[in-house]
């Protein structure tokens, strides 16, 4: 097999196990149509439905969606209030469909800052879908990557203070276990819609070796074709995890393929 063929055989199988998306551009989508920004967020919920369906169909294991950042409280009160209402109604409506489709919902972020009814609805939705075995949808709400790491650090510090753990035991693996995403594979593919090329405090630890994909498409316009384009881009990447390209190709010859991500 030539080097090129080997590279193709290595990449052809590569559908991401975990896709993490910054769903950006709802406001601009609405503004360009002379509509209120909330109309863009509503259209964004419809795009979520489509992407959840496609990911479930393609057997992606985990789909993480950034819905509200810890910095989004800085928006006008009215927009924040309408977003909270939208979460309530969308969660109430969508959870039944998700449950029927064997989807498991997990919410990450500091949800203690949300209203009590919204917190209850989140907990009920997680409990209802807890044993589902299909796609896991992780919604990041009042989430910040710095919060996530600080929260993990606090838990470890408490264990050290209680004498259960020594400072020398603290390792990247222990920190990862304390993150909100514990138990999930790390994201393979990160997608940001809306044209900005930044991570905006999303999964700072978890994205260490994630493939990054940016598109100008605004989130409400992000459909199956757009998702397929991201998957094609991902399939063409060579993930080296610090090794040389030659090592990666050799390790993935059919008789000696090893994955130790
Ligand atoms: C993303 O869309 C949704 C949330 C942050 C809740 P935006 O509302 O940020 O849309 P733009 O970036 O203003 O177009
Ligand atoms: C990131 O988008 C947060 C979400 C999509 C939930 P923002 O629109 O808040 O990001 P910035 O402020 O442009 O970086
Ligand atoms: Mg934005």
Query: Residue 12's pLDDT is what?
Result: 45
Query: Residue 256's pLDDT is what?
Result: 54
Q: What is the DSSP string of 101-169?
A: TT-EEEEES-GGGS-HHHHHHHHHHHHHHTT--SPEEEEEEEE-HHHHHHHHHHHHHHHHHTTSS-GGG
Ligand 1: distance of its center to the CA of 147 in Å? 20
Q: What is the layout of strands, in order, in the sheet containing 18-22?
A: 104-108, 136-143, 62-69, 18-22, 189-192, 211-214
Q: What is the largest CA-CA distance in the chain?
A: 61
* Sign of the torsion angle spanned by Cα atoms 111, 113, 115, 116: positive
Query: Residue 13's pLDDT is what?
Result: 54
Query: Residue 67's pLDDT is what?
Result: 98
N- to C-terminal Cα separation, the chain? 24
Within a 10 A sphere around the Cβ of 233, how many other Cβ atoms?
15
Q: Which ligand is nearest to the CA of 29?
A: 1
Ligand 2 atom closest to the CA of 22, numbered from 1: 5
**How far is Cα 169 from Cα 187, in angstroms, rounded to an integer?**
26
Within a 10 A sphere around the Cβ of 117, how many other Cβ atoms?
10
Report pTM. Answer: 0.93
Query: Residue 14's pLDDT is what?
Result: 86
Query: Residue 4's pLDDT is what?
Result: 41
Q: Whose CA is nearest to atom 3 of ligand 2?
A: 69
Neighbours of ion ligand 3 (CB under 5 A): 24
Q: Which ligand is nearest to the CA of 30?
A: 1
Residues of the chain where predicted confidence (pLDDT) is lower than 50? 1-12, 258-261
What domains lie within the chain, and their CATH numbers? 3-146+189-251 (3.40.1180.10)
Q: What is the per-residue pLDDT across 165-224, written as a single tens digit (0 to 9) for each?
A: 999 999 999 999 999 999 999 999 999 999 999 999 999 999 999 999 999 999 999 999
Query: Residue 237's pLDDT is what?
Result: 97
Q: Which of these is catalytic: 4, 26, 34, 72?
A: 72
Q: Evaluate: CB of 250 within 6 angstroms of ligand 2.
A: no
Query: Residue 7's pLDDT is what?
Result: 42
> In the numeric block, which tokens belong to residue 88?
């309530």
The CA dihedral of 242, 244, 249, 250, to the nearest 10 degrees, is: -100
Query: Residue 5's pLDDT is what?
Result: 40
Ligand 2: distance of its center to the CA of 132 in Å? 30
Ligand 3: distance of its center to the CA of 25 in Å? 5
Q: Evaluate: CB of 66 within 6 angstroms of ligand 2.
A: yes
Among this protein's residues, is 24 annotated catalytic?
yes
Q: At what angle are helices 37-57 and 77-100 packed, to 10 degrees? A: 20
Among this protein's residues, is 72 annotated catalytic?
yes
What is the CB-side half-sphere exposure of residue 3 using CA atoms within 13 A? Answer: 5
Ligand 1: distance of its center to the CA of 88 in Å? 18
**How far is Cα 256 from Cα 39, in angstroms, rounded to an integer?**
52
Q: Whose CA is nearest to atom 5 of ligand 1?
A: 68
Query: Residue 257's pLDDT is what?
Result: 52
Beta bridge partners of 214: 192
Query: Residue 180's pLDDT is what?
Result: 98
């Amino acid at each position: 097999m030539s080097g090129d063929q080997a590279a193709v055989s290595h990449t052809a199988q590569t559908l991401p196990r975990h896709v993490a998306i910054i769903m950006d551009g709802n406001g601009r989508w609405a503004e360009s149509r002379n509509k209120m920004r909330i109309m863009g967020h509503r259209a964004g919920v419809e795009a979520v439905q489509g992407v959840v369906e496609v990911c479930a169909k393609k057997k992606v294991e985990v789909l993480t969606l950034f819905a509200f950042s810890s910095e989004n409280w800085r928006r006008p009160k009215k927009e924040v209030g309408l977003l909270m209402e939208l979460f309530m109604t969308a969660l109430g409506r969508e959870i039944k469909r998700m449950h029927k489709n064997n989807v498991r919902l997990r919410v990450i972020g500091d949800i203690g800052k949300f209203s009590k009814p919204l917190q209850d609805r989140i907990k009920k939705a997680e409990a209802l879908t807890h044993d589902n075995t299909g796609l896991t949808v992780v919604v990041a709400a009042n989430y910040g990557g710095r919060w996530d790491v600080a929260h993990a650090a606090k838990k470890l510090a408490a264990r050290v203070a209680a004498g259960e753990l020594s400072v020398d035991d603290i390792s990247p693996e222990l920190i990862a276990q304390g993150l909100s995403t514990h138990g999930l594979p790390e994201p393979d593919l990160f997608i940001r819609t809306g044209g900005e090329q930044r991570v905006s405090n999303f999964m700072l630890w978890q994205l260490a070796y994630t493939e990054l994909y940016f598109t100008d498409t605004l989130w409400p316009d992000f459909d199956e074709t757009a998702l397929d384009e991201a998957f094609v881009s991902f399939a063409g990447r060579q993930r080296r995890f610090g090794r040389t390209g030659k090592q990666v190709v050799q390790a993935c010859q059919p008789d000696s393929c090893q994955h130790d991500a």
